[in-house]
Amino acid sequence: MEQLTIVGKPVTRVDAEEKVTGEAVYGYDLVLPKMLYGKTVFSARPHAKITRINTEKARRYPGVVAVITGADAPWTHGESIKDKPFLAQGKVRYIGEPVAAVAAEDEDAAQAAAALVEVEYEDLPAYFSPEDACKPGAVAIHEDFAGYRKADFIVSGPMPNVCEHFKLRTGDVERGWKEADLVLAERYSVPTIQHAAMEPHSAHAQVDPESGRVTIWVANDAPFRALHEIAEALGVANEKIRLINPLQGGGFGSKGGLKVEPIAVALAYHTKGRPVRVKFNRQETFISTLVRHECIVEIKSGVKKDGTLVARQMALYWGGGAYAEKSPTVCIRGSLPAPGPYRIPHVKVDGYAVYTNKPVSGAFRGYGIPQGAWACEQHMDEIAKRLGMDAVDLRLKNIFVDGDLAYWGEQLHSVGLKETLIKATQAIEWGKKQPGARPTVKRGKGFACISKPTRTPTMSRAGVLVNGKGEISVLAGTVEIGQGCSTILSQVAAEELKVPLERIRMAPLDTDVIPFDASTTSSRSTYHMGNAVRRAAIDVREKLAEMACPMLEAKKPDLAFADGKVFLKDQPQMALPIGEVVRRKLGNEGIVRGDGSYTYEIGKDLDLETGHSDHASAFYMYATQAAEVEVDEETGRVRLLRMAAAHDVGMAINPLNCAGQIEGGLAMGIGSALHEHLVVDDQGRVRNPSFLDYHLATSLDVPKLIPIIVECAEPEGPYGAKGLGEPGLAPTPAAIGNAVADALGMRIYDLPLSPERVYWEIQQKKKKTAA
């Protein structure tokens, strides 16, 4: 490979200055001319028929322009399953479901009018856990499920309220149990948590009265997917919808799909061409947008005395909430690798995405991997304990390496997992025991390994433009959600065009202008869009070289690029700035454009009966994280002392950005391990819908962090790069859980590891010991 000049360097983020100075304008900040203000009326019942809605008082309130209900917005939407109305139609399925909406001249008037909308209900049976919702005889939460439009991969479950049943079948687990020397079965659980992005949700919408074209301003992480979903719901051509993406203040999966957008669009159809803004406050964001799936995991394994894994069976019950959203794909992508990154000849997995009467669950950083890892990686430590085997040695005996055939039928390559395991455990001095600060404080160490696929197959397209001033614009549909994609893609374009990084500009994201991209999800952007931008940059470079040939009286093979110039290889002084090349050929206003696209052509969907695919993912991400903790037996408090995180990134296009992603993921994972739990009571009401009662990790919780970059190059990736964004938090809770178990000599099976839970588990252990 040609020596790299910008790729691989820890350059400062290109968007750093505008963000730290406050110049950046986020979706929540946006104010449009003649804008109206929208407010939403939310359901107060978890599952009920709507018997009456009275909007007359609200309509008469001064300043009110429009009041709408489901009758005024007769549309439904959904990515995998088209089951969710813009506003509730005939019934509600969770507390917080949008029932009506108001648009007014100012926010106070809209809020006051919304409070005047009267809704009467007739209650129906409600279910608040996936296990209860799918028991025989449970009432259907979606009685019209059979008639919904569904994606081809949807497999309806054998039990009530199951919207997706994922099956993985490899070998014969019954045979495996007979071959095993040890069979161990356990049950783990992970609670619902909130994304807690810095910026709450908002959307602006406007309908042109003449053309009927809908324009939406929203910080959505998949604008083209959202465009299609809205167009399908409204029954119009895609060309009738335009999305403009302002900056996004974090999302972690919560700002994909449609959340506030349907309410804004529905109102905009009743405001005679004036734009409408709908903003959710923090409480509304907590109860009415998206949460991470709660999950109950049953796991059973068979193993030989020497530690060889023989069989594993798992059942995962994913709490989907009131609507399908991304539950089917989280169920599939989370259940597939749940048995862990290990060679296992006999595997059986059943994943069930289950409707409940709780807030809607969907994409969350990690996309189902943290839930499976919490169970699998603690289960691995329990197996090691029962065999009297070191937990690292057990992993090394079974861990994926290059050339392995995974239990879903795919031959693996570019597997850096073993190196991550060795480096992460070395960083916390695995095997070296130290006492706690006092007798009641116990110290322990633990680690966890994961592999994660990416959404496959998907496509990314890009354009790279060079003008007469030598300025470069990159047209890419990847959304800057805080992960640093603008910097990464700028580095790729600058590398191929051999120009200073400051010459690169990322074009604003507008679906009328930007080429198609599948989504900014699944840690796919560096790989897919990085390849697309690289190809577009090479394309424009070739066009510039062709234009420069007669100007420099040379052939293309004789030319090279550096420092924003094209020159003769054997006479470097014979050079032209690339902007001058454009001006000479096309004039002062001329622009040269290169285009590129990338898709993983051989990607195949999973078989619906076996869960197998020989090319299930364009690439896999591998990581090991290790933790050292102290646990105070008198209070139950878990204090982290240090955490190491080794991640196989393929090739670090920006090592500084990679370290930041790893550290940010760790901090997020620490919160979900120690504190986070969105509490829903037995009436379906969220009890802690604000940061006053919903405890996130703070600087006091975060210990010394040791990010470790492992580079096992992916041949198809740009410069060998893979993805990184999601795995940062996936193994964290399991690593901490194993460290706590090591400290206490006992296992805690349910998250979070809050002081209360840990304390009472210790007390229960003492009672059993005394008995």
Residues 6+ apart with CB under 8 A from 745: none
Instruction: Convert the pLDDT of each residue in 232-287 to its tens digit.
Output: 999 999 999 999 999 999 999 999 999 999 999 999 999 999 999 999 999 999 99
Tell me the average pLDDT of the chain: 97
Instruction: Convert the pLDDT of each residue in 34-53 to its tens digit.
Output: 999 999 999 999 999 999 99
Domains 16-23+458-599 and 291-455+605-770 share a fold: yes
Q: Output the pLDDT for position 325.
A: 97
Structure tokens at 659: 């370290």
Instruction: Convert the pLDDT of each residue in 698-714 to its tens digit.
Output: 999 999 999 999 999 99
Q: Output the pLDDT for position 766.
A: 87
- Confidence at 69, pLDDT banded by 50, 70, 90: very high
Q: How far apart are CA 400 and CA 204, in angstroms?
A: 47
Do 74 and 89 touch, CB atoms closer than 8 A?
yes
CATH of 291-455+605-770, one of 3.30.470.10, 3.30.365.10, 1.10.486.10, 1.10.1740.10: 3.30.365.10
Q: How far apart are CA 451 and CA 449, in angstroms?
A: 7
Q: How far apart are CA 280 and CA 264, in angstroms?
A: 11
Average pLDDT in the 668-691 region? Answer: 97
| Residue among 245, 714, 718 nearest 525 (CA) | 718
CATH of domain 16-23+458-599: 3.30.365.10
Cα 506 off chain centre by: 23
Query: What percentage of the chain carries pLDDT values higher than 90?
Result: 97
- Confidence at 1, pLDDT banded by 50, 70, 90: low
Do 731 and 449 touch, CB atoms closer than 8 A?
yes
Q: How far is CA 720 from CA 653, 715, 771, in A?
A: 9, 5, 59
Do 43 and 90 touch, CB atoms closer than 8 A?
no
Structure tokens at 705: 């962090």
Domain 31-124+198-250+255-288 bears CATH identifier 3.40.50.1220: no
Coil, helix or strand for 95?
A: coil
Q: How far is CA 548 from CA 176, 279, 555, in A?
A: 67, 52, 9
State the DSSP string of 338-407.
TT-SB--SEEEEEEEEEE-SSSPB---TTTTHHHHHHHHHHHHHHHHHHHT--HHHHHHHHB--TT-B-T
Q: How far apart are CA 119 and CA 44, in angstroms?
A: 9
Domain ranges of the chain: 16-23+458-599, 31-124+198-250+255-288, 291-455+605-770
- Tell me the residue length of the chain: 771
Q: How far apart are CA 323 and CA 310, in angstroms?
A: 38
Residues 6+ apart with CB under 8 A from 438: none
Q: How far is CA 682 from CA 46, 127, 138, 160, in A?
A: 10, 9, 17, 20
Q: How far apart are CA 75 and CA 732, in angstroms?
A: 41
Q: How far apart are CA 687 and CA 697, in angstroms?
A: 19
